[in-house]
Copies of this chain bind each other. A is one copy, B any other.
């Protein structure tokens, strides 16, 4: 390859430059963490856990063409790769601390890597998370982030913690990311440009509810994040808690944007089944619901009661006062 071509491609970079060049922050940087004893550049990272905390570990993978359209903005891919894991920690009520990155990509393109790392690191900075290790390999674009965090002993929110009589609530609004993806892939079109941009942004740059999850510890009885859609995820929370769930579909929180771009039945289907919103599904005792609303209010975040849990099994969906069988399914890679 000619030197000019190399320059044009921002160089075909060696594997061992990549992580250090695009993902390292200088030691002592304003955003560095004092508990990172040894970060990127050795065989493994060394981290200092505080006394009296439990370690929380999550891993999630994004595959091109599955979790995001081919040719997506690299900054969005980087953001989402971390956001989906932040959402898992939010659902545990845990404080995110350190991440490692396994990045498989077809080639080492400097422009792409700059955008990707900016998307990932900007979100990491916003949550005080340090990227402490990584592995880059050549292959079809696949990104796995492993996120480590901390929670006070016994304080973590589990899917299994709900009791009969608990209310079910969700943060924010549902279906926006599904609408955004439909706008991106062209299966939905609208003249309402501002609304469309807002919905696409919900897909491309989801906001994990980390602060809410942290504040919900000690108030909520159970939590999980809605990554695969309510119809896919709620049965798992109900099963883990050994309870039946009942949801008033009319109460699912829909944003003004989704109402503006789609007819009610379509908006409802997205709210029920589209993943990628990364809102939290919460179970909470009725007498603690006001406390949880206060938490949400302080964070300027919506919190909507959508149903309840009771003895039994399965999920009952109610629409206009009648039983309703959703025709849409939650996202499952292998069904």
The residues of A with any CB-CB pair to B shorter than 8 Å are: 12-16, 18, 37-38, 41-49, 51, 53-67, 87-89, 91-92, 94, 98, 100-102, 104, 107-108, 132-140, 142, 144, 146-149, 151, 156, 158-160, 223-225, 236, 240, 332-335
For A142, what are the chain B residues with a Cβ–Cβ distance below 8 Å? 104, 139-140, 142
Q: Once bound together, how far apart are the Cα atoms of A140 and B64, in whole Å?
A: 10
Please state if A51 and B51 are interface contacts (CB–CB under 8 Å).
Answer: yes
Known: A91-B43, A146-B146, A225-B43. A100 touches B335 (CB 8 A): no
In the complex this chain forms, how many copies of it are found? 2
Q: Once bound together, how far apart are the Cα atoms of A41 and B159, in whole Å?
A: 9
Residue A133 contacts which of B12, B14, B59 (CB distance < 8 angstroms)? B59
Please state if A92 and B43 are interface contacts (CB–CB under 8 Å).
Answer: yes
Nearest residue in B to A92 (C-beta to C-beta)? B44
Given contacts A13-B334, A136-B334, 15 further A-B contacts (CB under 8 A): A12-B334, A14-B335, A38-B158, A43-B89, A43-B225, A44-B57, A45-B58, A47-B56, A48-B54, A49-B49, A49-B53, A58-B100, A58-B133, A60-B135, A139-B142
Cβ-closest 7 pairs across A and B: A63-B139, A44-B58, A102-B144, A43-B91, A138-B333, A146-B146, A108-B334
For A46, what are the chain B residues with a Cβ–Cβ distance below 8 Å? 54-56, 92, 151, 156
Please state if A56 and B45 are interface contacts (CB–CB under 8 Å).
Answer: yes
Please state if B332 and A16 are interface contacts (CB–CB under 8 Å).
Answer: yes
A120 to chain B, nearest CB (A): 14
Please state if B98 and A57 are interface contacts (CB–CB under 8 Å).
Answer: yes
A71 to chain B, nearest CB (A): 16
- Of the candidates A63, A107, A147, A334, the one having the most CB atoms from chain B within 10 angstroms of its own CB is A334
Residue A146 contacts which of B38, B43, B92, B100 (CB distance < 8 angstroms)? B100
Please state if A334 and B54 are interface contacts (CB–CB under 8 Å).
Answer: no
Known: A15-B334, A142-B142. A59 touches B98 (CB 8 A): no
For A87, what are the chain B residues with a Cβ–Cβ distance below 8 Å? 43
Known: A38-B158, A44-B94, A240-B41. A59 touches B333 (CB 8 A): no
For A148, what are the chain B residues with a Cβ–Cβ distance below 8 Å? 55, 57, 148
9 A-B pairs with CB atoms under 8 Å apart are A37-B54, A38-B156, A44-B56, A44-B147, A46-B55, A61-B104, A136-B334, A138-B333, A140-B140
Q: Once bound together, how far apart are the Cα atoms of A204 and B149, in whole Å?
A: 34
Please state if A159 and B56 are interface contacts (CB–CB under 8 Å).
Answer: no
Q: Once bound together, how far apart are the Cα atoms of A224 and B41, in whole Å?
A: 11
Q: Once bound together, how far apart are the Cα atoms of A332 and B297, in whole Å?
A: 51
For A91, what are the chain B residues with a Cβ–Cβ distance below 8 Å? 43-44
